[in-house]
Structure formats: C-alpha cells, structure tokens
Amino acid sequence: MRQKTETGHSAAPVSRRSILGTTLPAAAWLSSRSSASAAEVSTSSARTTAIDSVLQNAVHSGSLVGATVLVSEHGKIVYERAFGSADREAGIATQTGTLFRLASMTKPVICVAALALMEQGKLSLDAPVTQWLPDFRPALPDGRQPVITIRHLMTHTAGLGYGFLEPETGPYHRKGISDGLDHARLTLQENIARIATVPLLFEPGTAWHYSLAIDVLGGVIERVTGLTLPTAIRTLVTGPLGLTSLAFSIPQGTPIAVPYADGGTGGAIRMTDPFQLKFGPGHIVYSPSRAFDPAAWPSGGVGMVGTAGDYLRFAEAIRTGGSGVLKPESVAAMTTNAIGTLPVGAAGPGFGWGLGVAVLTDPTRAGLPLSPGSWNWSGLYGTGFWVDPARELSAVALTNTAVAGMSGSFPRALRHAVYTA
C-alpha cells in the first residue's frame, strides 16, 4: 500500500532493493534477514522520519514545489519518496519516476565519457585542447595564449567563466555566449568559438572558477568520437548502464516536472519561457522548452534531463568501481581532489575538486556529516546528489525549484537527515 504524505500526495513506501534488481518491501526485506537487529530497524525508521520531515517542511513552507529523493546504502535503496507537485497549477503530484531537468548534474556524466575515451587511448588528460579544437586559443588580458589542457577543463582551472556569474555588462554577455540553460540559436561549435574570444580570467592551473569548461569538453568529445555529443554519451555512458531517461532532449509532450523559481515570501513562482532569476551579480536565464528541442545545441554543462532512479544508478555505478564503463583507477582519479588547496568558491570551505565533481576534504570546515572523500554536485534547476564511499551511501535529490533545491537550508538539512542515527 502506498502511504500518503501530509501534502496529500502519494509517497513510495521505503524499500530495500538492489539498485538494478527487483523491489522488495521494507517489511519483507527485514523479515528475510534473521540477523537484522532492533538497532538497525530503529536507525532506518529514524532516518526515514527525519528525511520526511525535511521534505514536508520544505513543501509546506513553499520553498519547494516538488521533490523526489532516493538514498541507497550498501547497494540497497533505503529511502525512495516523492513530495509535492510536478505541476502545481494542474494538480499533478510528483512521483518517484518523475523526469526533471538536471542542469549541472550533467557535468559528471560528460566527464565519465571523457575518462572512458582516455582508457581507450583516444584522449589524454594533459594534452592541449588545441589537439582536437585547433582554433580554441583564448588569450590572457596581456595577449598571451597559454596552453589549456583537458585536465584544466575537467577541473575548472582553465580560466574560463559563466555568463550568469558576471554582471549583465560582462564579456560573456557582450559576446552573446550561451550558458546552456537558455534557448540560444547557436551550434555547440559556434558557442565554443565565442568562448575563445573572451580573455581568460587567470593563467590556467592557478585558480578555480566555475565555468563553461565542460561544454568545451563536450566539443572535444564530439571531435574525438566523430559523433554528436548526445550519441557519444549514449554510446559511452548511458547506453551501457541502461540509463534510458538520461538524455539531452525529449519528445514534445513528454511529462516532465514544471520548473519553478524562488519567489521570496510569496513562495515559488512558475517559470515563464524565457525566465530570468537574479543570482549574484547577474541573472540566470532559463528556457524550459529547450528540453523539447532536439535541435538545441547539446550543453555538456547543463543540458540533460533524467529521473532520480537513473541518476542514482549512475552514481552507484561510479561508486562501485565503474561498472564496466570506467576502470576503478579512473574512478579514483575522478573522485579524488586534483587541485591541491585552490579554493572552490562554488562548493564552499572544506571542498576540493576532482575530474568532474566536488570532493569533500574537510567535513568540519564544511559543517557536514559526510565522510572525507565524499563527492557531489548540484544543478541550477534545483537538483543535487552526493556519494559517500566510506559509508557506501549515495543520495539523489531532484526538485523543480530553482535555486532553493540546490543551495541553502534544504540541501543542508537533507544531508543531516540522511545521517540521522
């Protein structure tokens, strides 16, 4: 029987099941384990209650419209529920299988594809980007054109930027560069060409700055494989892992969570198309309809959609050693801090950066209950995930509310709730 949340929407019952196996209700799973202790049952119940409370409070307060959260531990799903609305105005409840716009949760998928190509000997971490994109030669303000490597792209140390992180008069705006969330009528190659005309923010390798670097990496992947980026990702990552919902575009009319934006004291507001959301010194420009346009240029930084279940399978595939898509040593390189003590502004204190993900180096400084070496990232549509290898734990939280689902009180409270003992 499905349980009812306090919002009146159905929530999937907690279950223990293999990530790739069949569902086994929690009661049956517990009864099948003679060694299951009362302490284990109590911990599971406390955690479920804590997570439920965080989600109910977020939806009831209006800070979130809808959310799906999945948590796995030791390869078994220990929490799988949906709260709130996929379409508030139409009265459509969020389900555990609801499709969401993933935004920057796209980046780790692209980086896994790049690492797979390295294992095939077709790409090299420390090779210059110009080996595949000969015209990509952005200069420093003094006119010098430094070497930018694939490593620089994957670690966000190339000196590139993002339009939404600069004022409206900034160079990325003046050059008409797309951040990938808008519906600019460009090709991937045209956008990369425009990026190359903007002066670098710093000498590559000397600082960390969140950027369109993974979009440039997507262009490299296209050149290496001779395929479009969607086809390359399907061939290298999502196809082998059976992640059928992860895609760059979906057919018109496909059900997907309606996006909303922070609305202050009045609660979240439904996005128009396009929609601008104030963020730091500038604005994030969203075009939700982009997901339905197969002709939209494929953004390796923010362009994919998917379900929480498929993204959890992706995270677990990497956590458990690559699942045949990557070798364990590639997984280790991806999920280990690769930038020393460079500050990672977008992640905050206590974090470093690997080859595509933020890596927790100091939980105390970060104020988080996760283990050192945990890795994660999030997306501007209100999405996030993390993996705690020491605990064999992976969690995915997809919401349709930007940016409250990504940063602020909700994701922090959720992390603490998942570690409730």
Q: Is 299 left (phi over 0), alpha (psi -120 to 50) or beta?
A: beta
| CA separation for the pair 256, 401 (Å, rounded) | 13
Domain-embedded: residue 69: yes
CB-based contact 304:106 (threshold 8 Å): yes
- State the pTM of this model: 0.91
Catalytic residue at 104? yes
The number of domains in the chain is 1
Q: Per-block average pLDDT, block size 10, for the chain (421 residues)?
A: 36 38 31 44 84 97 97 98 98 98 98 98 98 98 98 98 96 98 96 98 98 98 98 98 98 98 86 96 96 97 98 98 98 98 96 98 98 98 98 98 96 97 74
Domain-embedded: residue 348: no
Domain-embedded: residue 134: no
Beta bridge pairs of residue 100 = 306
Marked catalytic residue, from 10, 104, 330, 374: 104
Domain-embedded: residue 159: no
**DSSP codes, 102-120:** EETTHHHHHHHHHHHHHHT
- How far is residue 294 CA from its own chain's centroid? 21
Domain-embedded: residue 392: no
Domain-embedded: residue 28: yes
What range defines the domain where residue 45 resides?
A: 1-96
User: Of 395, 331, 386, whose CA–CA distance to 359 is shortest?
Assistant: 386
CB-based contact 411:394 (threshold 8 Å): no
CA-based diameter of the chain, in Å? Answer: 70
Phi/psi of residue 229, nearest 5 degrees: -60, -45
* HSE-up (13 A, CA, CB side) for residue 295: 3
List, as own/partner pairs, every contact residues 315-318 make where C-beta atoms lie below 8 angstroms and the sequence separation is at least 24, other chains included. 315/385, 315/387, 315/394, 315/396, 316/19, 316/72, 316/75, 316/394, 317/241, 318/108, 318/112, 318/387
CB atoms within 10 A of CB 7: 18
Domain-embedded: residue 406: no
pLDDT value at residue 263: 86
Six-digit token pair at 313? 């399978």
